[in-house]
Amino acid sequence: MFDGLKEKLGSFRDEVEEEVEEKEAAAEAEAAEADAETADSVSAAEEADEPATPAGAPERESTEDESDSPGRLRQAAAFATGRVIIEEGDLEEPLWSLEMALLESDVEMSVAEEILDTVRETLIGESRKQVDTTAELVEDALHDALVDVISVGQFDFEQRIADAEKPVTIVFTGVNGVGKTTSIAKLSEWLGDRGYSSVLANGDTYRAGANEQIEKHAENVGRKIISHEQGGDPAAVIYDGVEYAKANDVDVVLGDTAGRLHTSNDLMTQLSKIHRVVEPEMTLFVDEAVAGQDAVERAKEFNDAAEIDGTVLTKADADSSGGAAISIAHVTGRPVLFLGTGQGYDDIQEFDPEALVDDLLAEE
Ligand code: GDP
């Protein structure tokens, strides 16, 4: 999962490390040169039988070389105290490579910029004490920058289900083929593992074959499915699902909806009718991680049409770029809540930004 991105983040760490090592070597050479010069002047003074620096004499004038680069002197001083300071110039190239890497990984532009800004701010002026390694400093900065953008709006999904009045209705939206119906069945299993019963309701009355598709999943996971004829009113199907749940003491209603209508206006009208009729606790947007930028764009569009509460990102197992997982929360202001990690019904993971970032930054 997200291996390509992981590799690229590793390259950034290596590049900064290289820059700092070069600088450290230069500072070391500078310090050694200064020592040698002092030693030379001492021995020359001894040979001439004179004190090295006559009392009251002005300090030795800086050589041309030194006055050229006060930065080098500061670095040499920092080195003498066991520290190397990271400056903007050291980061220029690695940051440029990082930006390219993020964009190539389908991270949305504004999200990539936010990550770069945070990394730059955190690292510049940072002094690498000899107890730290540059890799650790870079890792901390990247960790914080990534967690900041990924965890926008994060909330505890299970707690929200626990606290909500039953039955809890969750409506799913998103285009067809991304794994929406599979995810509904997976979530039904996930909830079952945590002691919550659920019923499925097929509000995708728009598309031919939608009933058969979700019925098959319901059968596979052994759940009741409520459906109406194609062309029926989606709000009415989900309403029936809620009635069924009330009558049978079922905790959660998982309602599918059409993935795409003629216009986003139709989509909004449909979702707002569902909202009026059944007042869902949450509307979750489903898309596939492998769609990268397209998934980010669609998340934005759906969220603009009808506010979503979070995203389920499927096919993360097949995605090496990670761009959608990194960008969607920041772009929509709503968190990624689950990752689909395979075709089996238990291939679903609650999204944990800290764990994801730790994994992205772990050294191979
Ligand atoms: P829908 O049209 O959006 O409802 O899509 P489906 O639920 O029918 O899924 C489309 C295809 O994606 C199916 O072959 C699923 O098995 C597959 N799929 C769904 N979720 C995942 C996932 O997390 N990982 C992988 N690798 N495949 C998935």
State pTM to two decimals. 0.85
Report whether residue 177 contacts ligand 1, using a CB cutoff of 6 Å: yes
Contacts of residue 85, Cβ cutoff 8 Å, sequence gap at least 6 = 74, 75, 78, 125, 126, 127, 128
Nearest residue CA, atom 6 of ligand 1?
179
Contacts of residue 340, Cβ cutoff 8 Å, sequence gap at least 6 = 179, 182, 183, 186, 288, 289, 312, 313, 314, 315, 316, 317, 347, 348
| CA separation for the pair 255, 279 (Å, rounded) | 12
Mean pLDDT value across residues 195-224: 91
245 CA from centroid of ligand 1 (Å): 26
pLDDT for position 265: 76
pLDDT for position 49: 57
Mean pLDDT value across residues 337-346: 97
Report whether residue 341 contacts ligand 1, using a CB cutoff of 6 Å: yes
Higher pLDDT among residues 145 and 66, named by residue = 145
177 CA from centroid of ligand 1 (Å): 7
Mean pLDDT value across residues 279-285: 95
Q: Which of the given ranges, 31-35, 54-58, 336-340, has the highest pLDDT on average? A: 336-340
Q: What is the pLDDT of residues 325-335, one digit of tens each?
A: 999 999 999 99
The distance in angstroms from the start CA to the end CA of the chain is: 14
Report whether residue 318 contacts ligand 1, using a CB cutoff of 6 Å: yes
75 CA from centroid of ligand 1 (Å): 55
| Mutation test residue for ligand 1: of 181, 183, 202, 314, the one with most atoms within 8 Å of CB | 314
| Mutation test residue for ligand 1: of 175, 182, 217, 220, the one with most atoms within 8 Å of CB | 182
Say if residues 179 and 315 touch (Cβ distance below 8 Å): yes
pLDDT for position 94: 92
- Asked if pLDDT for residue 342 goes beyond 90, the answer is yes
Mean pLDDT value across residues 204-227: 90
Q: List the domains of the chain with CATH numbers.
A: 3-150 (1.20.120.140), 157-353 (3.40.50.300)
Q: Give me the residues paired with residue 83 across strands.
A: 129
Report whether residue 347 contacts ligand 1, using a CB cutoff of 6 Å: yes
State the greatest distance between any 2 C-alpha atoms of the chain, in Å, as a whole number: 109
pLDDT for position 66: 45
342 CA from centroid of ligand 1 (Å): 8
Residue 81 banded pLDDT, cuts 50, 70, 90: low
pLDDT for position 218: 94
Per DSSP (E only), the strands in the chain are: 83-85, 127-129, 168-173, 198-203, 225-226, 252-257, 282-288, 310-314, 336-340, 348-350
250 CA from centroid of ligand 1 (Å): 26
Q: What is the pLDDT of residues 235-261, one digit of tens each?
A: 999 999 999 999 999 999 999 998 775
Higher pLDDT among residues 50 and 18, named by residue = 18
264 CA from centroid of ligand 1 (Å): 24
Cα angle: 340, vertex 344, 347; to 5 degrees: 35
Higher pLDDT among residues 24 and 178, named by residue = 178
Mean pLDDT of all residues belonging to the chain: 86
- Asked if pLDDT for residue 13 goes beyond 70, the answer is yes
- Asked if pLDDT for residue 322 goes beyond 60, the answer is yes
pLDDT for position 74: 63
Tokens of 64: 């041309």
Please give the helix or strand (H or E) that residue 160 lies within, else none: helix 157-163
pLDDT for position 40: 65
Mean pLDDT value across residues 24-50: 69
pLDDT for position 210: 82
- What share of the chain in percent tops pLDDT 90? 60
Tokens of 6: 């992981």
Atom index in ligand 1 nearest the CA of residue 347 equals: 23
305 CA from centroid of ligand 1 (Å): 24
